[in-house]
Chains A and B, each alone.
Chain A
């Protein structure tokens, strides 16, 4: 530790939420702006927000980790125009609750309420219906970031527009995000969530497209071989009557794993059977806004059940024109390789694929697999990547810890040009994380 205050570093073992990556890191936890600026200009570093990414996006053994937990303050709120300015370390759940208390809503939020504003920008997260609401970048008016060489910069669509664009799905490379101004929309009282059972992924895609305008829209599917794709599409509409139930506490930053792995074949069968009986039938229910936005708050036991081996989540966005073929081929792949899949989720996308953002036009699938290091599971995930690439799929870099540099370069034929454009904002390659190193970003 340095002798000077503000430079204090602590040795910490940091781990990704999916338990795929772990590193012994030097962590700075600045509590004042001067401390945040105190690192030597040539020191490799990476900003850390909630620390809930699945891919080690906020730490690396070779980088000084700047934990922004103290920078979580609301800086300004325009009640008339629905604009809120917050520091980058503010948790998305806290920002949502603050906005809701004043009748406003941030329409794009990730599932984990402890993700921070800076993390949501760096990952360009999507919300509960990306086809309607876009991704996080569509709701950021401007931001301020700290460049180790140039100092503080303001960026927006009108000021430093290239730097502004590079911050979204820039994974911290474009600089340390200090604060951001977000555009809010009027909040509903609650949502009424309706359920439409589907027999397979092709029917699911049709139902998703039929409800593209709903504020909430996503599907759940059985991942087992003989029932693959069967599930339910849930779409939420604004409701006037709020349910009386209290929202659950936020999912913790790290979930302690159970000493055994619950999601073996029997456990997955039991989980899917319970979900099918509970949700896979027509009907509707009223849900409060916070519970609808942060469904992971009720999933603590689910994540603990992966045990110490953790899990991997593959996310691929398949263009509409190739979707039917892909759905059939994926069903065949699951039937032949019989992987253990604990969850398949589907969403509709209708945006532009900018930079490394997970966006485009098509159907996205999130496929969670326990014990990803096991050879059969790893083989399935590799085959899934080949299948998705063969159907014009794009991976979600901020979710999938199994991707390697070669796969992502095949997904983006102009990968090197995009990488160079992003690194132009960090010419000395100071911003490094487990994610950027694995993908050679």
Chain B
């Protein structure tokens, strides 16, 4: 049955697509630039012999991305897994953004995942499938950086909590991974206070957990401790944090 990766062009999304193809899953790969997902699809077909379809959607500008995804699924085996990994951040997300930039961040990080999930959940219920969301440790506590991004990711976290509350794991497995630092273009060149994980390693664990019920957890797992400490830092210390 088909797995859908929203945001498959690079980073964790690309690694998830590779891992799913290695497991023999038919795929629908969605990203904003057809060149990226078409190249990835060709590679996965040649290396792993799986069926792969691609869809180019601008999540920041598409009014109803869920409908586009549903249409692209036509003719593929029934949808069993939806992985909503698309996301974006900006270095100037520090309370200086204009309305357009705020809307773009909210569209990609919150509106599009919610819209696609709303459209796909009935299909996933039909196959007793799994929906997977990806949050960020940046949303553990609001700071003066990644302001809109963190707000969107916390909103996504709440949405997945709603899904978990609404559906029993026997109906729909709802999994939410709050990501720590990953080695990707988002962190390339940044001085990070903790090591970044390889997307391929994270993808292996995420795909390995697809059959394991509903949960929300940090990935890599030690970021749970980091988030715990961060949330409990006294205010006078927290407000002095630079990174």
Contact = CB atoms under 8 A, between A and B. Distances in A.
Interface string B53-66: 00000000000000
Interface stretch (B157-165, B180-188, B204-212): B180-188
A270 interface: no
Nearest to B93: A3
A179 to B, nearest CB: 8
Nearest to B183: A29
Contact of B188 (A4, A29, A87): A29
28 contacts: A1-B189, A2-B91, A3-B91, A4-B90, A5-B88, A6-B185, A8-B188, A8-B190, A9-B189, A10-B188, A10-B189, A27-B189, A29-B188, A31-B11, A31-B14, A32-B36, A33-B33, A33-B35, A34-B33, A35-B185, A70-B10, A74-B43, A74-B47, A75-B39, A75-B42, A76-B42, A77-B46, A87-B39
Interface string A19-55: 0000000010111111100000000000000000000
Contact of A73 (B11, B33, B40, B88): B40
A11 interface: yes
How would you classify the secondary structure of chain B's contact residues: helix, strand, loop or mixed? loop
B92 interface: yes
A98 interface: yes
Interface of A: 1-6, 8-11, 27, 29-35, 70-71, 73-77, 87, 98
B9 interface: yes
Contacts of A4: 90-91
Contacts of A8: 185-186, 188-190
Interface residues of B, number: 24
B190 A1 contact: yes
B90 A3 contact: yes
A11 B190 CA distance: 10
Given A9-B189, A31-B10, A73 B91 contact: no
Contacts of A76: 42, 46
Nearest to B46: A74
Nearest to B90: A3
A35 B35 CA distance: 12
Interface of B: 9-11, 14, 33, 35-36, 39-40, 42-43, 46-47, 88-92, 184-186, 188-190
Contacts of B189: 1, 8-11, 27
A33 B14 CA distance: 14
B207 to A, nearest CB: 20
B42 A5 contact: no
Given A30-B185, A74-B46, A3 B33 contact: no
Contacts of A5: 88-90, 185-186
A70 B186 CA distance: 14
Nearest to A9: B189
Nearest to A71: B39
A4 B101 CA distance: 11
Q: Which 8 A-B pairs have the closest CB atoms?
A: A10-B189, A73-B43, A31-B10, A3-B91, A3-B92, A8-B188, A33-B35, A74-B46
Nearest to A90: B43
Given A33-B36, A71-B39, A98-B46, 16 more contacts: A1-B190, A3-B92, A4-B91, A5-B88, A5-B186, A8-B189, A9-B188, A10-B188, A32-B33, A32-B185, A35-B185, A70-B10, A73-B42, A73-B43, A74-B47, A76-B42
Contacts of B188: 8-10, 29
A406 B33 CA distance: 47
Nearest to A102: B46
B129 to A, nearest CB: 28
B152 to A, nearest CB: 15
